[in-house]
Structure 1
Amino acid sequence: MKHRMSNTGLFLAGLLAFVLMPLAASAEALPDLGGRKVVVVTENAYPPLQFVDPRTGERKGWEYDAMDEIAKRLNFAVEYRNASWDVMIQAVADGQYDIGMDGITINDERKAKIDFSAPYMRSEQFMLVRADETRFTDAGSFAAFSDGLIGAQPGTTPFYTTVYSVLDGNEQNPRIKLFETFGATILALISGDIDAVLTDGTAGEGYVESSGGGLKMIGGPLGSEDFGFIFAKGSDLIAPVNAAIADMKADGTLEKLTVKWFRDYKMGE
């Protein structure tokens, strides 16, 4: 008998398969950056990739652990900064920061402005709703539910997937409510101001776990996306960081981080 996996199981299985893929580029000896300072910017609003622990104020998450390990292997001193999503890509492109990390989907439009690292994670998108939601069960039935409202950050992959894969292709569709941060969409969902949020399994699992039974993910995946770190065009950090990512895939470090943050992790613990 075949057993159907849960959304969590499907996401974790796919993610583990991705980080275990062999890379021929895995380096025998990694570059040594001689202790240089590297400024890394993030939003701290995308658990469990990166967030601020509300109890301690400590910055935590998969991306922090991964970047700290990359810094250790390449011998650079990482300095973390915070910026909002709507300015982050341009700020990195302008050289205000050396690296950006925010669960940023690799796509051709962004490649015109900045350079990406090799993918460090693959994710799939699902609909995040309140746990008692029964009016719709997937993207198709949500589209047919004309009173339903969905929240999104403008310019993000979930926004464009909402527009073109869930709704009617109209970027000004009044059923889409725009928010400055992903966290704000979650608060609006919990309070009942909107009815759904489109999120990759990465953030969605973190919010489901931390909601105390208040949220759930529904429907099948609406497409896969690869995440990468971002750099100004032609940055001399790209090749070293790619070598470190390859090394961390080869020795199982990325797999261990995935288990830590997506299987064993619960927000607030």
Structure 2
Amino acid sequence: MNPTKLLAAAAAVVTTLALPAAAQDTLPDLAGREIVAVTENAYVPLNFADPATGEGVGFEYDLFNEVAKRLNAKVKWELSSWDVMIQAVRDGQFDVGMDGITINDERKAQIAFSDSYLTSEQLMLVRADEARFTDATTFGAEASYLIGAQAGTTNFYVAVYNVLDGDEANPRIKLFDTFGASVQALQSGDVDTVLMDQTSANGYIGAKPGAFKVIGTPLGSEDFGFILPPESDLIAPINAALAQIKSDGTMEALQQKWFYDYQAAQ
């Protein structure tokens, strides 16, 4: 990462993040309440550790910090692995969680979701020199090709049901503890593709020019939302802040910062 360029990108959105006092007054006031937020720091450019400082940065960090600021709340950031995050939020260990989490009915039965803050499509990320297959059909037809995935994620289920044969135990799926580890396995040749949303694909391609590319057509779209404990009193305030962030141009500015300017700064 080029710190100078990233700071310049951040500065470019400062004026957009500011709101007139009258607009802020329309939102609930949480009176300085502390919100304990959890993420994984393994999903570029949504959440990851800044290589220069080790601090958590990314689109979701900036977005939720902005939500909290508008609600007059403070954020205490914590880290958790993906495999326990949903249960931990459901049990009330954290007030809100985020990790590019797809809103779906199965998860809605366990936890509450905010409104969507990002819509993305699943794509096949491959090495830049890949020429053996060109889409999900040609990939699926060759039994030796492997997919890297994180268990229980949208990427895993799309791999199972949209690319392979619907068998969740299919040995062609190689499981990794983190999303970043699956991308590292792709780069080293241990797997042949990793499925991910457009924003993350853009992030990895931008961060490692010449290493990766996307092939085929989108395998479906997904909406990301913050997760909260069932019946959380933060759902309505967070949704109100998200609506305002979308309507005043701030969401667009944050997307520009992380999905375009961040890549250009690498």
Deviation at 1:202, TM superposition (A): 1.5
Q: How does 1:47-126 map to 2 (within 5 A)?
A: 47-126=44-123
Q: 8 Å contact 2:28–2:71 — kept in the other structure?
A: yes
Stretches (4+) displaced over 6 A: none
What is residue 248 of structure 1 aligned with on the other side? 245
Work out whether residues 119 and 227 of structure 1, in 8 Å CA contact, stay in contact via their aligned partners in 2.
yes
Q: CA RMSD in A?
A: 1.4
Task: Determine if contact 2:47/2:57 at 8 Å carries over to the other structure.
Answer: yes
Query: Relative to 1, partners in 2 of residues 1:28 and 1:34: Cα closer, same or farther, differing over 3 Å?
Result: closer
Q: Counterpart of 1:190? A: 187
Q: Quick one: percent identity of the two aligned structures?
A: 63
**2:8 aligned partner:** none
Instruction: Please show how residues 134-153 of structure 1 align to structure 2 within 5 Å.
Output: 134-153=131-150
What is the CA distance between 1:146 and its match in structure 2? 1.8
Shift in Å at residue 56 of structure 1? 1.6
> Which residue of structure 1 lines up, in the alignment, with residue 26 of structure 2?
29
Residue 7 of structure 1 is matched in structure 2 by none
Structure 2 CA distance for partners of 1:256 and 1:134, relative to 1, 3 Å: same
Q: CA deviation at 1:55?
A: 2.0
Deviation track 1:248-267 (CA, whole Å, cap 9, x = no partner) reads: 01101101111111122228
Q: Distance in 1 between matches of 2:99 and 2:227?
A: 9
Counterpart position of 2:234: 237
Question: Which residues of structure 1 form unaligned runs of 5+?
Answer: 1-25
* TM-score with structure 1 setting the length: 0.88
TM-score (norm 2): 0.89
Q: CA deviation at 1:134?
A: 0.2
Deviations 1:62-97 (A, max 9, x none): 111111111110001100000000000000000000
The answer (yes or no) to whether the contact 2:24–2:70 under 8 Å persists in 1 is: no
Alignment length (residue pairs): 244
Counterparts of 2:173 and 2:187 in 1: how far apart (Å)? 16
Counterparts of 2:39 and 2:162 in 1: how far apart (Å)?
28
1:224 Cα deviation from its structure 2 partner: 0.3
Counterpart of 1:174 in structure 2 is: 171
